[in-house]
Amino acid sequence: MAQRGIVGVGLALPSVWKLIMRTEWIACHLGDVITLKRGYDLPQQSRIDGVVPIVSSSGISGCHNVPKVKGPGVVTGRYGTLGEVFFVPRDFWPLNTTLYVEDFKGNDQRFVAYFLRVLNLADRSGAAAVPGVNRNALHLLPVRKPPVRTQRKIAGILSAYDDLIENNTRRIKILEEMAQALYREWFVHFRFPGHEKVKMVASPIGPIPKGWELKRLDEVSQIVMGQSPKSEFYNERGEGLPFHQGVTNFGAHFPTHRVYCTAENRLAEEGDVLLSVRAPVGRINVANGRIVIGRGLCAVRSRLGHPCLLLFQLKDCFKEEDTMGGGTIFRAVTKDDVHKIELIQPEREFVGAFEGHCAPLMQQLANVTKKNNFLRRTRDLLLPKLISGEIDVSNFDTRM
C-alpha cells in the first residue's frame, strides 16, 4: 500500500535534529542503505497466467508464471507514477518502469519501504519531457538510518496499522460482494423469493416479471447536474463544503476531500449516488456528506427511499466505464441522457425486502471505511516522525 511521505528525512526541523543526533543513527547516503536496480521488460504477449505478481510503477498490474526477483522486496516507480513505494511480500517480477531494491545490505525490508516513502522520490525526477527517477542520483541522497533493531520496531508499529487497513479492506470487499450478489440474484437473474410463481412478460429489454415495469431515472429519482463555481471560491483550507469537479478524489466507495468551496451552488446530499458524466463516464461513488458538485458530476437521489437498489442499478448500468446500456461508448453524457436512463422498477414488496437486507451491509461498509480513513491518517502522521527519529522507540516493546 503506497502512500506519499509527508516530510523528507533530510528536511527535519532543527528541534528534531537534536533528537536524531544519537550515536546509533548513522549519517550516510541512500546507496549505503540499499542498492536500487532497474526492473525488467515483460511484453504482454510474453506473459503466462500464474500467481507471481507483476509490479509496475502504479503497483501490481498482473500476474506471471515465473518470478524475476526473490521476495520480500520493495519497488518504486521509475517512470509513470513516481514516488509510489510498494512492499511485495513474495517473489515477484518488477517491470522496467520501476526500480527495485536489489540489495538491502542487512537492513529490514519493511523499514526500507517506509523509509523510501518519506524521501518524496517524485521530487527527485529529472526535468525531461517525460520525467523519470535516476537510481544513481538516488544513491547519493544524504540520509540517516537507525540500527536494525530500531528499524524493526519502527516497521512493527507502522505495519500494524497497514495490517489492520488490509483486513478492513478485505472486509469492505466482502460486504459489497454480499450486497452485489443479492442484487444480481433478485433483479438481474430474477431469482427473488417466490419467483417460481411469477409469470415473465415481454418488455423492451427482454422478459421481466409480471407486475414489474421500466421507469426512467428521472421518474424514480431526483437528479442534480453539477455546475462549477468560479475558481475564486475554491480553497484547500477546509472552508465551506467539500468540492468535487470530477472523479479525481473518488475512492473505492466514497470520495476523499481535498478541495473546498464557499459558494454552495449545486449540492449532493449524504447518501446520494455521485455519477461521473464526463470521461470516465459512469464512475460511481456515494456522497459521505454534503458536497458541492462541479460540471463533471451529477448527484442521483432515490425519490422512493430505495438508495441501495438505485446504487446497484446504476453500477449495473455502467458496469463498464464510458459505456451505457447496450455498450455505446460515451465521452460525456448530457442531462437528457441521464434522465432517459431506463431502470427496472420491481414490485414494492421485493424492493423493501432488498433494502432490509442490503442497508445494514452498506452501513457496515461505511463504518469500516471510516475506521480505515482514521487508521491511514494516524499512520501517515506517525510515518515521518518515526522515520526521522522524532518519536523515540527505544523503549517500545515489539511483543505488545
pLDDT tens digit sequence for 271-308: 999 999 998 999 999 999 999 999 999 999 999 999 99
CA-to-CA separations, 247 to 75, 257, 283, 295, in angstroms, rounded:
27, 11, 7, 11
Q: What is the pLDDT of residue 14?
A: 42
22 pLDDT more than 70: no
Identify the three-state secondary structure at position 69.
strand
Phi, psi of 108 (to 5 degrees): -70, 130
Mean of the pLDDT values across residues 260-267? Answer: 96
192: Cα separation from own chain's centroid: 33
CATH placement of domain 213-345: 3.90.220.20
CATH architecture of 148-197+347-394: Orthogonal Bundle (1.10)
27 pLDDT more than 80: yes
Element (H, E) at 145: strand 142-145
> What is the band of 134 on the pLDDT scale with cuts at 50, 70, 90?
confident
Question: What type of residue is 120?
Answer: N
384 pLDDT more than 90: yes
Same fold, 9-145 and 148-197+347-394: no
Mean of the pLDDT values across residues 202-222? Answer: 95
17 pLDDT more than 50: no
Element (H, E) at 275: strand 273-276
Q: What is the pLDDT of residue 322?
A: 60
Mean of the pLDDT values across residues 159-182? Answer: 97
Span 113-126, pLDDT tens digits: 999 999 987 766 65
Question: Which residues lie closer than 8 Å to 140 by C-beta, 6 or more apart?
Answer: 29, 30, 31
CA dist., res. 105 & res. 107, Å (int): 6
Give the fold, CATH level 3, of 9-145: Adenine-n6-DNA-methyltransferase TaqI; Chain A, domain 2 (3.90.220)
Identify the three-state secondary structure at position 8.
coil
Domain boundaries, the chain: 9-145, 148-197+347-394, 213-345
The DSSP bridge partners found for residue 149 are none
Q: Mean pLDDT lowest for which of 3-17, 283-297, 386-400?
A: 3-17
> What is the band of 326 on the pLDDT scale with cuts at 50, 70, 90?
low
Q: What percent of the chain has pLDDT over 70?
A: 88
The residue with cell 506473459 is 47
Question: Which residues lie closer than 8 Å to 34 by C-beta, 6 or more apart?
Answer: 74, 101, 103, 104, 105, 107, 112
Identify the three-state secondary structure at position 114.
helix
Between strands 241-244 and 291-293, the pairing is parallel
256 pLDDT more than 50: yes
Please choose, from the candidates 80, 126, 98, the residue with its C-alpha nearest in 3D space to the C-alpha of residue 41: 98
Number of other residues whose CB lies within 10 A of the CB of residue 150: 21
The residue with cell 546509533 is 24
Span 183-200, pLDDT tens digits: 999 999 999 999 999 999
The DSSP bridge partners found for residue 75 are 86, 100
CA dist., res. 317 & res. 185, Å (int): 16
What is the residue-averaged pLDDT of the chain?
90
Span 30-63, pLDDT tens digits: 999 999 999 999 999 999 999 999 999 989 999 9
More confident residue, 75 or 79: 75
